[in-house]
Amino acid sequence: MHNPYESPGVGSFDEDPDDVAVPAADDSPVVGEQIGPLHWKLCGVAALIVIALMPRLRHNLLGLLSFEGLFHIVDALYGTVLVAAILLAIWRKRVGPPTFPVFFGHWILLIQGFGWLGRHVYALLDLYSFRSELRQRLSQTDQGPVGNFVGDNLAAINILMILLGSVVPLLAIWYSRGERLWQRYAWVLVLNMWYIAASTQWVEDPNHWIPYSITNFLQSLMAICLIMAALQDVLKGKQRDSLHWLGVAIPLVLTVISLVLKITLLVI
């Protein structure tokens, strides 16, 4: 395959090497995603998946009018975008170009997407095991091995899902060689996920501020790495598409919301 960045061969007399236009190092030859009908269709499919994973949206429509309901609506919209990104990656893998993911913001969408799916699948498992236990108490009958297994191993399932989720940022690191600031962001993210998995047994401990304080530090470090990497993209004029910047914006917005909520709780 011809390399567009390769200089003409020694024996080539077709063009003067000084007249050959060589792309700048920061110009990416990769075509990004242009939002179109395919993306909106995937959002529609993703919305159905999100509704299936959020029973509150189906069974408590009146409750959506409350402040808590507004939170669930925003979470559903957030999940729809992220699940659509996962569907897009599957579609591009099976159907063809343009490649997705290619920019690091794409990987952030996938990381956030699998994290969203993991949280809601875990919530459904937790709900399922609770209902199984409740029904067992009411009817005094065994609900089968599946319900009992889920109820007895929720903590282990949670740890396993976190560890599996960390595979996505590790893939992002592997496929983003040369993007050092983005790689540093991903490594801090992986460390945070591994730390959460390792400290799961401390959640019920009265001194839970110890693991949470370390997690807060890692999350702050992630935000700093993210901002530095995004600024580098802007200052160097690197070619990026709208989905890349969407992936960059989402964790920044979530960080700001989390910070505002924490400050509000301290003031109150």
Q: Please write the tens of the pLDDT for every residue from 156-188.
A: 778 888 889 899 999 999 998 888 999 999 999
26 part of a folded domain: no
Q: Tell me: the pLDDT tens digits for 180-210?
A: 999 999 999 999 898 888 876 555 554 555 5
Segments forming the whole domain that contains residue 245: 114-139+149-267
And the tokens for 162?
A: 């976190």
User: Which residue from 237, 101, 103 is spatially nearest to 178, judged by alpha carbons?
Assistant: 103
Q: What is the pLDDT of residue 90?
A: 93
Q: Do residues 162 and 79 both lie within one domain?
A: no
Q: Do residues 226 and 130 both lie within one domain?
A: yes
Instruction: Give yes or no for residue 103 having a pLDDT over 60.
Output: yes
Q: Tell me: the pLDDT tens digits for 45-58?
A: 999 999 888 877 76
Count, residues in the chain: 268
Q: Which of 7-21, 81-95, 122-136, 202-216 has the lowest mean pLDDT?
A: 7-21
Domain count across the chain: 2
Residues 6+ apart with CB under 8 A from 48: none
- Between CA 129 and CA 149 the distance in angstroms is 8
Q: Do residues 133 and 251 both lie within one domain?
A: yes
- Specify the higher pLDDT residue, 124 or 208: 124
Q: Do residues 119 and 156 both lie within one domain?
A: yes
169 part of a folded domain: yes
Instruction: Give yes or no for residue 221 having a pLDDT over 50.
Output: yes
Q: Do residues 245 and 211 both lie within one domain?
A: yes
Q: Do residues 89 and 171 both lie within one domain?
A: no
Q: Tell me: the pLDDT tens digits for 131-154?
A: 555 445 544 445 556 556 666 667
124 part of a folded domain: yes
Are 42 and 91 in contact, with CB atoms under 8 Å apart? yes
10 part of a folded domain: no
On the 0-12 / 13-18 / 19+ scale of CB atoms within 10 A, 33 is buried
Q: What is the pLDDT of residue 13?
A: 37
26: which DSSP letter? T
Half-sphere exposure of 201 (CA within 13 A, CB side): 3
Instruction: Give yes or no for residue 11 having a pLDDT over 80.
Output: no
